Amino acid sequence: MSLGVLGGGIACGTAAGSVGGARRLVALAATIAGGYVLPLALASRRPPIAPGAPPLDPGAASCTFTVLVAARAEAGVVGALVRDVAAQDHRATDGSPLFDLVVIDDRSDDGTGAAVLAAAHEAGIGAITTVVRRDGPDLPDGKGAALTAVQPEACRGDVIVVLDADARIGPPFLRRLATYVEAGAGAVTARRRVIDADAGWLAGAQADEQTLDGVIQRGRWALGGCSEFRGNGIVVRRDLLASVGGWRAEALTEDLDLSSRLAARAGVRVAWAIDAEVWEEPVRSVAALWQQRLRWAEGGLRRVFEHGPAVLRSRRLGWYARADFATYAGQLAIAPLILGAVGGGLLRRRPTPAIVLVGTYLAVGSVLAWDGLRWEADAGGEPIPPGPRARRALRVGLFDAIWLGAIPGAMWRLASRRGSVGYEKMPHVGGGQGEWVR
């Protein structure tokens, strides 16, 4: 299937330079993509659940959380996250925490588990902190596989929050998430932010890319589409997670995998919490970024092939949600289509289809990034001036061109590779400034 999409996309793009029908198809695709921008941008301004929304049942007790962290060789950074969890202000009237912390020590050889327990004791949450050691030969690799060590039945909280070991969160994080759950959201994804975004072009582009993704996901949610989790900041009701089978070791991208299972089996779409921020380190080298994007792209493809038919057939989803999923999944074919159009244009010296497709691709990303940057502020807390805002939006559009290589690369890897799925872990170094304290 992967090879068919790759070859078919390249063939269609190549033919676009000489076949009138294919050329019109390219123009139609560009028109559809352009028409998608305005509805998303407008919808992102009117979320179904606004920050601070009132609970459905004002008399009900506040929900409790289990913060779940999968950590492998993260002794250098996980202590800071433990202290952030200890500082959460989501507490009962007597000051007792309405949360507990579970860390999965996934075959670490650097004392990660001991670092967690030491930090928890120092921060005063030793009694509500658990370390689960995952050990043994020939275990499946990856974050999704690690999470299977703590299935929902083993969690105490009403709601499970999954964070990466390098995550940083401010004291109101869980309290703000609780407002979404108590207002009726069974699944929520936190807003991902990037630490040290001003450290360089690469970090800044990743930070603004997360803002662009936020506009898209918040808009899809508001329009009734199949909005999705993002891996750092997955929030899901424990009973809901159990109802779809818990975590899957086979999931290369556990966030997309769970999003699709919730949509297909329970008709649940993921809320996007703009005011519950989870901060994370940027990828600090181009080589590491490429490996990360290859994995994300392959995980997206696997999700479509494994769960796409069930989502499209689901009677628990409305027609718009299913159409939105099909449209969003269909964008995976854009990259090979563009590659074929560029190659065909060079061979036949008819570059118009390639120019239209590439221009549309860059314009859609840049325009939505411009819109999303309304959420950002400069160093003085003021809205970003038009000039810098435009430069940052254009930077995101250019940065996202990495997907034009990563998606076809993942298609080829998925089609040709044998053996178990590989998982390239990103190293974390810690540090950064504390904007997450807000």
- Specify whether the CB–CB gap between 238 and 155 falls below 8 A: yes
**Phi (first) and psi of residue 417, to 5 degrees:** -80, 145
Mean pLDDT of 35-47: 90
Determine the Cα–Cα distance for residues 385 and 69; give it in Å rounded to an integer.
Answer: 38
Residue 37's pLDDT band (boundaries 50, 70, 90)? confident
Is a pLDDT exceeding 60 seen at residue 311?
yes
Between 12-21, 151-160, 316-325, 345-354, the lowest mean confidence (pLDDT) is in: 12-21
Q: Which two tokens stand for residue 284?
A: 């600090």
Amino acid at 261: R
For residue 29, the model assigns a pLDDT of 67
Determine the Cα–Cα distance for residues 369 and 387; give it in Å rounded to an integer.
Answer: 14
Is a pLDDT exceeding 80 seen at residue 427?
no
- Specify whether the CB–CB gap between 88 and 175 falls below 8 A: yes
Residue 26's pLDDT band (boundaries 50, 70, 90)? low
For residue 22, the model assigns a pLDDT of 57
Between 164-173, 276-285, 343-352, the lowest mean confidence (pLDDT) is in: 343-352
Q: Which two tokens stand for residue 202?
A: 């690469």
Length of the chain as a residue count: 438
* Terminal CA-CA length for the chain: 46
For residue 431, the model assigns a pLDDT of 62
Q: What is the pLDDT of residues 220-262, one digit of tens each?
A: 999 999 999 999 999 999 999 999 999 999 999 999 999 999 9
**Phi (first) and psi of residue 161, to 5 degrees:** -115, 120
Residue 35's pLDDT band (boundaries 50, 70, 90)? confident
For residue 234, the model assigns a pLDDT of 98
For residue 354, the model assigns a pLDDT of 83
DSSP 88-113: ---B-TTS-BSEEEEEEEES-SS-HH
Q: Which of 424, 417, 414 is nearest to 2 (CA)?
A: 414
Look-up: residue for tokens 């790759």?
6
Mean pLDDT of 284-302: 94
Percentage of the chain modeled with pLDDT above 70: 93
Is a pLDDT exceeding 80 seen at residue 50?
yes
- Specify whether the CB–CB gap between 76 and 428 falls below 8 A: yes
How many Cα atoms sit within 13 Å of 372 on the Cβ side? 29
Domains of the chain, first to last: 2-45+321-424 (no CATH), 65-318 (3.90.550.10)
Q: What is the pLDDT of residues 129-143, one digit of tens each?
A: 999 999 988 888 899
Entry pTM: 0.93
For residue 418, the model assigns a pLDDT of 78
Residue 21's pLDDT band (boundaries 50, 70, 90)? low
Q: What is the pLDDT of residues 75-124, one digit of tens each?
A: 999 999 999 999 999 999 999 999 999 999 999 999 999 999 999 999 99
Residue 18's pLDDT band (boundaries 50, 70, 90)? low
Is a pLDDT exceeding 60 seen at residue 287?
yes
Q: Which of 379, 395, 432 is nearest to 208 (CA)?
A: 395
Q: Which two tokens stand for residue 126?
A: 């030793």
Determine the Cα–Cα distance for residues 149 and 141; give it in Å rounded to an integer.
Answer: 12
Is a pLDDT exceeding 90 seen at residue 217?
yes
Between 3-17, 18-32, 166-180, 218-232, the lowest mean confidence (pLDDT) is in: 18-32
Amino acid at 120: A
Q: What is the Rg, in whole angstroms, of the alpha carbon atoms belonging to the chain?
A: 22
Mean pLDDT of 265-269: 97
Positive or negative: CA dihedral 425, 426, 428, 434? negative
Is a pLDDT exceeding 80 seen at residue 23?
no
- Specify whether the CB–CB gap between 26 and 350 falls below 8 A: no
Q: What is the pLDDT of residues 344-367, one digit of tens each?
A: 888 878 787 788 888 888 989 999
DSSP assignment letter at 199 = G
Q: To 5 degrees, how large is the angle CA 291–CA 116–CA 111?
A: 70
For residue 16, the model assigns a pLDDT of 73
For residue 423, the model assigns a pLDDT of 65
Positive or negative: CA dihedral 83, 87, 91, 96? positive
Q: What is the mean pLDDT of the chain?
A: 92
Task: Mention every residue, 6+ apart, whose C-beta is less than 8 A from residue 438.
Answer: 170, 172, 277
